[in-house]
Amino acid sequence: MSSPDSKTSLKQDTKLTHSGREPRSFHGFVNPPIVHASTVLYPDVETMVTGGQTYSYARRGNPTTDSLENALKDIEGAEGVKIANSGLNAVALAIMSCVKSGDHILIADTAYGPTRHFADTVLPSIGVSVEYYDPSLGSEIRSLFRAETAAVFTEAPGSLSFEMQDIPAIAEAAREIDASVLMDNTWASPLFCQPLALGVDLSIQAGTKYIVGHSDAMLGTVASSERAWEKLDALCGAMGCHVAPDDIYLGLRGLRTLSVRLERHQRNTFEILDWLKGQPQIGTLRYPALKSDPGYEIWKRDFSGSSGLFAFDFVDGTTKEQNFKFLNALKLYGLGYSWGGFESLAIPVRLKGMRTATPFDVNLQSVRLHIGLEDPEDLIKDLDQALEKAFG
C-alpha cells in the first residue's frame, strides 16, 4: 500500500486540501504567503551568472505562483501548469503553443464565443487556417485532417448547447497524425473530469469560475501533458506571462473548497431540473448528466460529476418578449455572463445562428442558468413566480 506521503496515492479531496502547501517553508503558516515582488537579489555574482537559486525574477515565478501551479499539477495529473490572467487568455496561450504559420486547426463548432472570436481574428492574421467541426464526429474527425493539421480544440460540454464530445476517440485519431488535442474543461473542473487521462495534451480552465469560486478574481489555467509541456513553458516565458499574486492567492483559497462547493452546486441543480421537468412552459433541458440528454452516455463514461451550469428551451411559440419578461422578473438570479461563483445567474440564449459547421436551426427561446449555493426551495420559488409573470 502506498504511503500517505505519496501524492499519487491521495484522493482528490485530499489533494485539494494539501497540494501546493509547504507550511514548513513559511514558518508553519497554513497558507502560503502572498509574495509581492519584481526584483530578486542574489547573494553573489557567481550565483547570479550560473542561475544557482530558485528564483531569478518575479516574471519567471514566485512562491505564490508556484503554490497554485503545483496544486493544480497534482489535481490535473499534469507534467506542468501555467497560470493565465483569464480563461480566454489561457485558451489563447494553449492554442498558440501548438500552432504556427501555415498550420491548420480544427475547433469544435460549440466552442465558447470569445474562443471563436480569437480563432476568427487572431489566428488568420498569423497564417493559421481555422476550421470548425461538428462536435458529434468523434473518431470520424479523421476525415477533416490535412497534412498541415496541428491541433484539435475541444470543449465538453459545448458552450450554450451543452453537447458532449467523444474526447478519447478524438485524441486517438489526432495522435495518428501527431496533432495536439486541447480541451476547455471549465464546466466540470479537474475535480469531475481529467482531460489528460482521456488523451488530451492541454487541459484548459477558466479559473475565474469554479476554481476561484467567489466571483472576485480573474484567472485561467493550462495543465499540460509531458508531450506538450516544453512548448507551453517556452511560450509563456517568451511572452512574459505573469498573474498578480493577490489573484493567484484567491485561486488557491477557492481551490480548497472546490469539492464541497461543486457537490452543493450539483445537488441544487438536480433539484431545480426535477422541478423544471414538470413545468408546461419548459421544453428541452440541456444538461448532459440527465439520462434524457443525448450526451448522457459519454458524460457517464468520462465524467465523475456535474456542475451548476445548464440551459433550457422554452416551448415552441414562446416569444422573445416572454423570455425577457421571465428574466427581468427573477429576484434571486442575477443577470450576468460569468458563472461558477456562489451566486445564481441567468442569461438569454439564442442558439439559432451561433454555429457555422453545423447550423443550429432550432428557432426557440432559451435561457442559461447557473445554480448557486442558495437554498434550492427559494430558487424554485423565484423561477415559479417569474414563469407566472411571463406566461400568466
Residues in the chain: 392
Write the burial class of residue 370 (CB in 10 Å: 0-12 exposed, 13-18 middle, 19+ buried): buried
Alpha carbon distance 220, 237 (integer Å): 16
3-state secondary structure of 257: coil
Q: How far apart, in whole angstroms, are the C-alpha atoms of residue 244 and residue 85?
A: 8
Residue 241 CA to residue 59 CA, distance in Å, equals 7
The answer to whether residues 159 and 135 touch, using CB atoms and an 8 Å cutoff, is: no
Q: What sign for the dihedral angle of Cα 271, 274, 279, 284?
A: positive
The one catalytic residue among 74, 109, 184, 247: 184
For residues 189 and 129, give the distance between their C-alpha atoms in angstroms, rounded to a whole number: 29
Whether the CB-CB separation of 282 and 369 falls below 8 Å is answered with: no
Identify the active-site residue in 209, 256, 286, 355.
Answer: 209
Q: Catalytic residue, from 103, 112, 286, 355: name it.
A: 112
Annotation says 112 is catalytic:
yes
* Residue pair 139/166 in contact by the 8 Å Cβ criterion: yes
With 0-12 CB in 10 A as exposed, 13-18 as middle and 19+ as buried, what is 285?
A: middle
Between CA 160 and CA 258 the distance in angstroms is 23
59 catalytic per annotation:
yes
Catalytic residue among 59, 142, 253, 389: 59
- Is 286 designated active site? no
Q: Are 381 and 331 in contact (CB under 8 A)?
A: no
DSSP state letters, 9-42: GS-HHHHHHHTT--GGGGTT-SSPP----SB---
Annotated catalytic sites, by residue?
59, 112, 184, 209
